[in-house]
């Protein structure tokens, strides 16, 4: 088996992710890839709990991927770094951070279901980071599996530019190979666990369909190469090499998506591997990465090159039970070397790389150096968090960070014993470091510890890990909705904090303007003090005062979001002014101003899709409406009907049980956070009463 230490030229490296909706067969496809590249000796099965990439006990029990696992394998003299990402919406941060550092992706679709809700989410995330991708329609050899129907749903929901490079031979259980539209050859198998696909001639009965789809493929890809466009328009056929080059150029543009299909449990994945090395980008193809200097001003375009000064992005923190804190990094320029120091330019701190490792799921391989274009993990970085830039001290720069969604659900947790209490804080800190969508807080009224995340499963897994990995037992309360508050009007407000007693008094005096911002735009502090009305050293104290009050707003005591606060005037006293006085003045100005600025309560709205048969449609729609749901539409997907709705999260607790009862256990649903929306006034009163 090939060792990972061999150095590959950049053009022969592929950093790819495998992304999909839950249950599309993503982990199984990755297992097959590892088997056919000689990385493992048998293919693990999700349902028997022996997969390499789903290595956490919680993943093996539930048959789902929770954490993105990284591995390295080799195919046709190329090195492929793969990240297998979760498909469940609660773990969307794992997909987000992986796509930020990857060059390409394979999107896996369930051939029985076509495009599902999380397929759309991961597709949008890949669009956001301009990640070129290949589509793999999986499970087409199973009952209900249909390559062409699934292709139609990709065209309808994701884009017309997804075009087959392979067509399946056979239908459902009779699928036994594929036709390569570029090479114009058939590749078949008699057992999908055999060593390789067998090359042969295209069966005559497929020639008509092949001609149609090959012409369509040429039409789509010649747009990306002028000389081939001319040749095609003049009625000339393209050679295999010309068409292959055109498909590569089109795929690298990020606007064209080659499609293949098969069974991810066996030899058809070799066709995916061929497509990965032929069409997905090397680090050189994604050659320009934006960077700013540490003040956030000048833009610099980086090109991957080992000889340049070092720049790398930390994209994941993981606590390893054997070696402690692991920081996953993607190196963009230069290299990271064992035992050397680097600058964390995001934090302005020097860090020592005590060891470097390549990861294969939860196993490690020690290496001396990580070069431009490579992905690995570092041991010894104490202050580095997800999204931080590591670089050479002589040329500090900052790479584009990773933005994560805010949590929508909270849970009160209490340690069971004094020993648990002593360990809990430290362990929770580790879990927060690992997961940017997992937040820690406390209930201001009761002082209880609150954990917040993306969904009930997300928090359930964290509580399970507390017990299993760290030996901390906790009791949990009922899930709570992460409400938010905001303002709808602009207001100017004065705040004064003046205390006179013996000796020094306190004097702080500010004028702030509060203005609403668009949903999801966050908070911004703007300083417009001119002429020294307030000395510069008190500006941070004013912002600190505002931030402290933001934690619990005036409607029902929830955090305040989506507004700007502008400090535009004030006064100070030479002797009595202090940071504390200005912080307290800002407290008062913000709280009074918010009360006048038409404050409202916001709630998370979930995008819900219910999959059912026709007979239960009326009951399901009626039930969703009774939960303040807005029905967005219904559609037929395979043999099932799908209802799409937007429903407040607060109304979705217990829905799984209700749906089971309503449909004799024959319906299922998925939901993901959509947006925040204003809570109706009658519901606000109920929330206040409950909280009180």
Tokens of 491: 């207001």
Q: How far is the C-alpha of 92 from the C-alpha of 672, rounded, in Å?
A: 9
Rounded CA-CA distance 66/675 in Å is: 23
Whether the CB-CB separation of 644 and 609 falls below 8 Å is answered with yes
Q: Which two three-digit tokens encode residue 410?
A: 């909270």
What b-and-e string marks burial along 116-131, b requiring 16 or more CB atoms within 10 Å of the CB? bbbbebbbebbeebeb
Binding residues for GTP: 20-27, 84-88
Alpha-carbon gap, residue 538 to 519, rounded angstroms? 30
Can you tell me the distance from the alpha carbon of 324 to that of 434, in angstroms, rounded to the nearest whole number?
12
CA angle, 381 then 386 then 390, to 5°:
55
Residue of 31, 137, 22, 10 whose CA lies nearest to 82: 31
Q: Determine the 3-state secondary structure of 519 from DSSP.
A: coil
What are the Cα distances from residue 397, in Å, to 31, 231, 298, 300, 543?
38, 46, 10, 9, 26
Q: What is the DSSP string of 606-673?
A: EEEEEEE-GGGHHHHHHHHHHTT-EEEEEEEETTEEEEEEEEEGGG-TTHHHHHHHHTTT--EEEEEE
- Three-class SS state of 118: helix
Pair of tokens at residue 378: 């570092």
Q: Which residues contact 584 (CB under 8 A, 6 or more apart)?
A: 497, 506, 508, 545
Q: Which residues are annotated as a binding site?
A: 20-27, 84-88
Element (H, E) at 409: strand 409-415
Report CA Rg, the chain. Answer: 28
DSSP string, 280-323: SPPTTTT--EEEE-TTS-SEEEE---TTSPPEEEEEEEEEETTT
């Amino acid at each position: 088996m090939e060792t990972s230490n061999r150095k590959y030229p950049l053009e022969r490296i592929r950093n790819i992710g495998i992304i999909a909706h839950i249950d599309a067969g993503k982990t199984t496809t990755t297992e097959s890839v590892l088997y056919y590249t000689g990385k493992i000796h048998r293919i693990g099965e999700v349902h028997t709990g022996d997969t390499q990439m789903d290595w956490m006990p919680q993943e093996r029990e539930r048959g789902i991927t929770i954490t993105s696992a990284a591995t390295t394998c080799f195919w046709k003299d190329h090195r492929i770094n793969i990240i297998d990402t979760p498909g469940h919406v609660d773990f969307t941060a794992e997909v987000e951070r992986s796509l930020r550092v990857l060059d390409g992706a394979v999107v896996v679709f369930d051939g029985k279901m076509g495009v599902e809700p999380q397929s759309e989410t991961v597709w949008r995330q890949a669009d956001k980071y301009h990640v070129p991708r290949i589509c793999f329609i999986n499970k087409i050899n199973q009952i209900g599996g249909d390559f062409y129907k699934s292709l139609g749903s990709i065209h309808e929901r994701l884009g017309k530019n997804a075009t087959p490079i392979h067509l399946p031979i056979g239908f459902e259980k009779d699928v036994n190979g594929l036709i390569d539209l570029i090479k114009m050859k058939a590749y078949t198998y008699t057992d999908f666990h055999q060593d390789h696909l067998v090359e042969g001639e295209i069966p005559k009965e497929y020639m008509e369909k092949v001609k149609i789809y090959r012409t369509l493929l040429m039409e789509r890809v010649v747009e990306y190469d002028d000389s081939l466009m001319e040749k095609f328009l003049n009625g000339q056929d393209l050679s295999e090499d010309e068409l292959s080059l055109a498909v590569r150029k089109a795929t690298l543009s990020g606007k064209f998506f080659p499609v293949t299909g098969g069974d991810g449990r066996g030899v058809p994945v070799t066709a995916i591997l061929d497509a990965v090395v032929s069409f997905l980008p090397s680090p050189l193809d994604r050659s320009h990465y934006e960077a700013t200097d540490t003040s956030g001003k000048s833009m610099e375009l980086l090109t991957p090159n080992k000889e340049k000064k070092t720049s790398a992005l930390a994209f994941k923190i993981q606590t390893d039970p054997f070696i402690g804190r692991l920081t996953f990094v993607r190196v963009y320029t230069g290299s990271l070397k064992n035992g050397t120091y680097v600058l964390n330019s995001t934090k302005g701190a020097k860090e020592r790389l005590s060891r470097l490792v390549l990861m294969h799921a939860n196993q490690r391989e020690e290496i001396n150096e990580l070069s431009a274009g490579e992905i690995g993990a570092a041991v010894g970085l104490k202050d580095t968090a997800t999204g931080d830039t590591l670089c050479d001290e002589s040329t500090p720069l900052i790479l584009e960070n990773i933005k994560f969604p805010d949590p929508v659900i909270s849970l009160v947790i209490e340690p069971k014993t004094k020993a648990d209490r002593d360990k809990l804080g430290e362990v929770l800190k580790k879990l927060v470091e690992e997961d940017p969508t997992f937040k820690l807080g406390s209930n201001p009224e009761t002082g209880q510890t609150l954990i917040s995340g993306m969904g009930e499963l997300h928090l359930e897994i964290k509580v399970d890990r507390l017990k299993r990995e760290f030996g901390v037992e906790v009791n949990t309360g009922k899930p709570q909705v992460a409400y938010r508050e905001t303002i709808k009007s602009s207001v100017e407000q004065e705040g004064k904090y003046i205390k006179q007693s013996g000796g020094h008094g306190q004097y702080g005096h500010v004028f702030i303007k509060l203005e609403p911002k668009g949903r999801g735009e966050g908070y911004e502090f703007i300083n417009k003090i001119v002429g020294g009305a307030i000395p510069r050293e008190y500006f941070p104290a004013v912002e600190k005062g505002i931030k402290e009050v933001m934690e619990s707003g005036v409607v029902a005591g929830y955090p305040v979001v989506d507004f700007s606060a502008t400090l535009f005037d004030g006064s100070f006293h030479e002797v009595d002014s202090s940071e504390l006085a200005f912080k307290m003045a800002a407290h008062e100005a913000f709280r009074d101003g918010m009360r006048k600025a038409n404050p409202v309560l916001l709630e998370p709205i979930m995008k819900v899709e219910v999959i059912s048969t026709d007979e239960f449609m009326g009951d399901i729609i009626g039930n969703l409406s009774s939960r303040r749901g807005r029905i967005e539409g219904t559609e037929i997907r395979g043999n099932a009907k799908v209802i799409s709705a937007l429903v407040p999260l607060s109304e979705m607790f217990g829905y799984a049980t209700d749906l089971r009862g309503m449909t004799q256990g024959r319906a299922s649903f998925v939901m993901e956070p959509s947006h925040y929306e204003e809570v109706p006034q009658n519901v606000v009163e109920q929330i206040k009463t409950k909280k009180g």
